[in-house]
Amino acid sequence: MRHPAVPESLDSWNILHRMFRFDRRAFDALAADRRHEIATEAVTNLAPLAASGDGDVGLAQLLGHKADLMVTHYAKSFDELGTAQIAFDKLAIRDYLEPTTSYVSILELGLYEATGKIHADLRDRGLKPHSPEWIAAFDAALDEQAKSPRNAGRLWAKIPQRRYVCFYPMDKKRGETVNWYMLPYDDRAAMMADHGKIGRSFHGLVSQVISGSIGFDDWEWGVDLYADEPLTFKRLIYEMRFDEASANYAGFGPFYTGMQFSIAELPHFLDGDAMPKLLVADLVAAHA
């Protein structure tokens, strides 16, 4: 039964973020041939995941003390995420990676505006809310949203291939005096429309992936931002601080920021002999 106050969403990739601290000194103490074996094994096993149409994997070197490496997995089911997690944990590299945190979520496209229009259309058609006819018509309308050119490409897009990445979890406040979920639907929809205008003003400068985590993890959403210039993150998030939906109703978790790099560059990350890069070949493939 769909509550009329609940905005619908379109959901796709199951996402697992894993943050690790890298024991670089222990790795450096290994013989050169053993370091090469470990790096080669990791690249050989991770590369097919990124090339698969059924998932993706991304690597990022993180800045600061919270973690050194972020591994992002995309899969079409929780079971496949579990398989990817086990496969990664079997790699020899895991002997030198200490987990610091993780995040489980599902990529979602919010439909505040569309949900309101669907409800109004069904009401105008005289359908009784939550009747079999109403539910069938609602499901058909959502299916049209999923197939629309605007949404279809975004739902199953791969991890954006841009150099810099910023990940953070967030909530909408639901305390005794300030509670997002008790606001009228139209008020929430209007605030989210204004919120979206800020994001669209950064079109071309940042790629944004919003994933829902209610019932899956400690926060309600995960946000991934990808850009070619890290200052974009500061400008976007700061501007959004002045938006009513954020200023009055948003709570934010820890931020993880760093540089995304190609799987083939993992040996450079492990050896520390050069900054691992996002290779041109991966950039070309992502935009092909």
Catalytic: 168?
yes
Q: Which phi and psi angles does 165 have, rounded to 5°?
A: -135, 145
3-state helix/strand/coil string of the chain: CCCCCCCEEEEEEEEEEEEEEECHHHHHCCCHHHHHHHHHHHHHHHHHHHHCCCEEEEEEEECCCCCCEEEEEEECCHHHHHHHHHHHHCCHHHHHEEEEEEEEEEEEEEEHHHHHHHHHHHHHCCCCCCCHHHHHHHHHHHHHHHHCHHHHHHHCCCCCCCCEEEEEEEEECECCCCEHHHCCHHHHHHHHHHHHHHHHCCCCCEEEEEEECCCCCCCCEEEEEEECCCHHHHHHHHHHHCCHHHHHHEEECCCEEEEEECHHHHHHHHHCCCCCCCCHHHHHHHCC
Tokens at 190, concatenated: 């209007």
Name residue 235's beta-bridge partners: none
Q: Tell me the angle at which helices 231-241 and 185-200 cross, rounded to the nearest 10 degrees.
A: 150
Give the closest residue to 145 by CA, choosing from 170, 117, 124. 117
Catalytic residue among 96, 168, 249, 256: 168
CA atoms of 30 and 151, how far apart (whole Å): 48
| Catalytic machinery residues | 168
